[in-house]
Amino acid sequence: MSTITDSPAEVDADQVREAQEHYWVNEWTDGLPVVPVTESLLQDFLATTTRAPDEVLFRIAHLNRDMTVRLAAINAALAGCRPEYFPVVVAAWEAIAKEPHPARGIWQSTTGTAPFLVLNGPAREQLGVNSRGNIYGSGHRANATIGRAIRLGCINVFGLRPHKLDQATQGNPSKYSALIGENEEQSPWPGLHTESGFEASDSVVTAFVIRSVLHIEARHTMTPEQLALDFVDSICRTGALIHEYTSALLVLVPEHAQLFADAGWSKDDLREFVFAHARRSRDELAAVGKDALSHKTRWRLSAVHPDSMPDTASGTDAPDDVALLSDPSSVQIVVAGADNAGVSSVVEIFTLNPPRQNPFSNSKVEAG
């Protein structure tokens, strides 16, 4: 690894340290070092888009704060993005603006939610976005810095700093950065973006609100029903049940996706199976104090709580068999990761229940 003295231009290490301290003291970082932003660097980012610098990409009304193109560029540069990444950052903010929860303050929640982005299309390969192994981990600049650009925007534009406007009780690692690419090349199904009417050749960012990632070890079966029930059990664990219904993004490794496809299952077949089997008994819910709903919030609580009301299942022919998904579209499916082991994941996400007609929040990346 080269030392700083090997650089073509001489760099004053003390000035670098001073700049980092300046950004830290002003609370412009996520706790990690950032790239100091000069006007010339900012112009390199703005030159990659036709958008006006003062165009608003996303607004949080109750904070009276706007994410403009210029502010998005500043935070992308701070995050360590290359200028050519910036159109993806712009599309990410536009996708976030279509997701109903962030504008309502979900990122300030004690639940510890965060943005989670999926990139489809040619931009993945063009920018080096990782979709094939260690997708939630380190080692890929585009994944790390594009996701981090969103987090720094949350901090610097919207003031979502821990112990202040960000009230997360514990949070989760995606509060630093969370962007993955879909492994379209090894997927047996069309890409996520095509389900919203985009062409396969379009580059598209889809935004979710994430609570956690739960890994599923499933190397034991070649029977699609058994594998699907493993996912069902993980989605329906009682600790995940906050509201009357839950939601999930299934991130399948290629070999799990291929197992379903080889059995003739489509994405919709998998969704329908999960929806049909995502149920718990009333006794199981009562055992953990989640067998009723709050009048005020419709969050799950005990039937003996003074604020309780019956859940939707109580008025059906099978009141003791409680459905935990409101609709098959409460389950979304992406193929990502390596094909070296049967390890997929359930990403716990917030969606509207019942979901709107188009459950996706996405935006096309502006062509370079």
Residue 291 scores a pLDDT above 60? yes
Torsion from C-alpha of 65, 68, 72, 73, nearest 10 degrees: -140
Q: Residue 303 burial (CB < 10 Å; 0-12/13-18/19+)?
A: middle
- pLDDT interval class at 6 (50, 70, 90): very low
Confidence of residue 163 (pLDDT cuts 50, 70, 90): very high
Q: What is the DSSP string of 156-206?
A: HTT---BTTTB--SS--GGGT--EEE--GGG-SS--GGGGGT--TTS-EEE
Q: What is the pLDDT of the chain when averaged over all its residues?
A: 94
Judged against a pLDDT cut of 70, whether residue 28 lies above it is answered with: yes
179-235 pLDDT, tens digit per residue, is: 999 999 999 999 999 999 999 999 999 999 999 999 999 999 999 999 999 999 999
Strand partners, 204: 120, 364
pLDDT tier for residue 9 given thresholds of 50, 70 and 90: low
pLDDT over 90, % of the chain: 91
272 pLDDT exceeds 50? yes
- pLDDT of amino acid 8: 52
What burial letters (b/e) apply to 64-79, b meaning 16+ CB within 10 Å? eebbbbbbbbbbbbbb
Is-above-0.85 flag for pTM?
Answer: yes
Q: Which residues of 147-182 are buried (b: 16+ CB within 10 A; e: fewer)?
A: bbbbbbbbbbbbebeeeebbbbeebbebbbbbbbbb
CB atoms within 10 A of CB 225: 12
The amino acid at residue 197 is G
Predicted confidence band at 353 (pLDDT cuts at 50, 70, 90)? confident
pLDDT at 2: 38
Site of tokens 């981990």: 137
The whole-angstrom distance between residue 315's C-alpha and the CA centroid of its chain comes to 34
- Residues ≥6 apart with Cβ < 8 Å to 326: 244, 245, 353, 354, 355
Q: State the pLDDT at residue 352.
A: 82
Total Cβ atoms within 10 A of residue 311: 22
Q: Is the pLDDT of residue 48 over 90?
A: yes
Q: Please say if the pLDDT value at position 310 is more than 70.
A: yes
Distance CA 189, CA 266 (A): 7
Q: Looking at per-residue confidence, does 2 or 323 come out higher?
A: 323
Radius of gyration over alpha carbons of the chain, in Å? 22
Q: Report the candidate in 168, 192, 172, 164 with the shortest Cα–Cα distance to residue 336.
A: 192
3-state secondary structure at position 335: strand
Residue 4: which pLDDT band, with cuts at 50, 70 and 90? very low
User: Which residue type is seen at 310?
Assistant: P
Give the neighbor-by-neighbor strand order of the sheet with 300-301. Answer: 300-301, 292-294, 308-309
Report which DSSP code applies to 78: H
pLDDT tens readout for residues 75-118 = 999 999 999 999 999 999 999 999 999 999 999 999 999 999 99
Task: Please state, for a pLDDT cut of 70, what percent of the chain lies above it.
Answer: 98
pLDDT confidence tier of residue 1, bands split at 50, 70 and 90: very low
pLDDT tens figures, 207-217: 999 999 999 99
Where does residue 294 fall: left (phi above 0), alpha (psi -120 to 50 degrees), or beta otherwise? beta
Residue 316: pLDDT band with limits 50, 70, 90: very high
**Overall average pLDDT of the 20-34 stretch:** 96
Residue 356 predicted with pLDDT over 80: no
Q: Please say whether the beta carbons of 114 and 122 come within 8 A.
A: no
What was the pLDDT predicted at 11? 74
Average pLDDT over residues 273-301: 96
Longest dimension (CA), the chain: 77
Q: How many Å apart are CA 173 and CA 147, to the nearest integer?
A: 12
Q: How far apart are CA 327 and CA 316, in angstroms?
A: 16
pLDDT at 3: 36
pLDDT in tens, 52-64: 999 999 999 999 9
Alpha carbon distance 170, 201 (integer Å): 39
Number of H helices, E strands in the chain: 10, 14
